[in-house]
Amino acid sequence: MNDAWTTARRVAAGLSPHEALGSTASAQSWAAFDHAVRDLPPYELGSRPDWARSASTTAVALCHPDGRVREAALGHVSRYPALLPLLIVRCADWAAPVRDRARTLLARTPTAGLLAQTPLILLLDRRGQGEFAVDLLDRVLREGPAGPVHTLLASEDRATRRLAHRIAVDRALLPPARLARIAARSGDATLQDLCADAAIASMREEEYGQVLGVLLTARAPRVRAAGVTALRRTGRYDEARAHLADRSSVVRACARYVVRQGGGDPLPLYRALCGGEITEPGAAAGLGECGDRSDAGTLWPLVRHPVPAVRVQAVAGLRALDAVTQDGLTPLLDDPSPPVVRAATRALLPHAAGFPREWLDARHAPDRPRATRVAAQRLLRAAGYAAFPR
């Protein structure tokens, strides 16, 4: 017995939907209630004379397995405003007569009620026949006052937030600086892309510094990448150099593109970074990404760098150059830094057959650090050994 079925039974027994589902019932709970009512035994569904007697009986009738009952119940839904969610559910009904009558009624619904059910409308859009309510909502948000759009920007429902931000961008309701802040602070990749692109497209010359400053320092790599790429549009090619050693490979690639568009060559810059007192780990990976096999000589000393992150990226750079050797990276399997051990293991998997079984077994012993034991397991499997330890 699930919660939705229990709720359906309680409503069928006379409890109001408001009491059974709560005043802040989620979109998912209304959809689940609709399904649960159809699973009730016939004796709990009530009889036809009772179906319009109260909010609870009308709610049950609106979800009844018999389409004729659902259609008849729609004639009573206006008495109970709290049942608007079920009217919206019926707009996506599989029975055309039910669906058509529900849509006629929904078209007369006050805007405030429609907006309050945005999460449910968007949830039902994933079903067949859910497009009517979505189109109605979209028209209200695009043609009506801006206030509701701004309200929905802060919705707890992800689909609602995405819709509100798309419409806000289309209606130019948000200034570039705010769009940049949303992109930088959001954990939603869809909103990051939408708002970063919109901020860049709409910013004026006097806003370049403010907008790009936010994007270039964002935590999300895709937002930083958008900011770096925008440096080309604004003619600030030299500023891309500062992002050549970014921790993200996507950002590094964008930075190299912009540097080249400005007439520069990122390879000498990487060589200089890696040949000196390297402070940015991403420089080692970047050298591997755009260098050649001759640059392996610059990267090998960095696998012994005192900073673990540099050692990790040096391994990544050697892998990119296809310059990994078993002898060179084997000592890293005993490195005190787990990320370094993992990076070395990934690089050495193609060389697993070259490790003696006894040597790997010794590193799988219980007294070894976990990262080393896991590395030994992976290499043992990659080498084709049937079981470990012996």
Kindly report the pTM of this predicted structure.
0.86
Specify the long-range contacts of residues 184-193, CB closer than 8 Å, at least 24 apart: 184/214, 184/215, 184/217, 184/218, 184/219, 184/220, 184/223, 186/220, 187/220, 188/158, 188/161, 188/162, 189/220, 189/222, 190/162, 191/161, 191/162, 191/165, 192/220, 192/222, 192/223, 193/222, 193/226
At 185-216, the pLDDT tens digits run 999 999 999 999 999 999 999 999 999 999 99
pLDDT at 49 (0 to 100): 56
Q: What is the mean pLDDT of residues 351-367?
A: 91
Tokens 């070259």 belong to which residue?
A: 354
- Tens digits of residue pLDDT in 52-62: 678 898 999 99
Peptide bond into 41 cis (omega under 30): no
Could you read off the pLDDT of 244-279 as tens digits, one per residue? 999 999 999 999 999 999 999 999 999 999 987 777
- Taking residue 268's Cβ as centre, other Cβ atoms within 10 Å add up to 9
Would you say 347 and 319 are in contact if contact means Cβ atoms under 8 Å apart? Answer: yes
Contact between 228 and 185 under an 8 Å Cβ cutoff? The reply is no
Read off the tokens for 156: 């707890």
Measured between alpha carbons, how far is 137 from 306 in angstroms, rounded to an integer? 58
Is the pLDDT at 48 greater than 80? The verdict is no
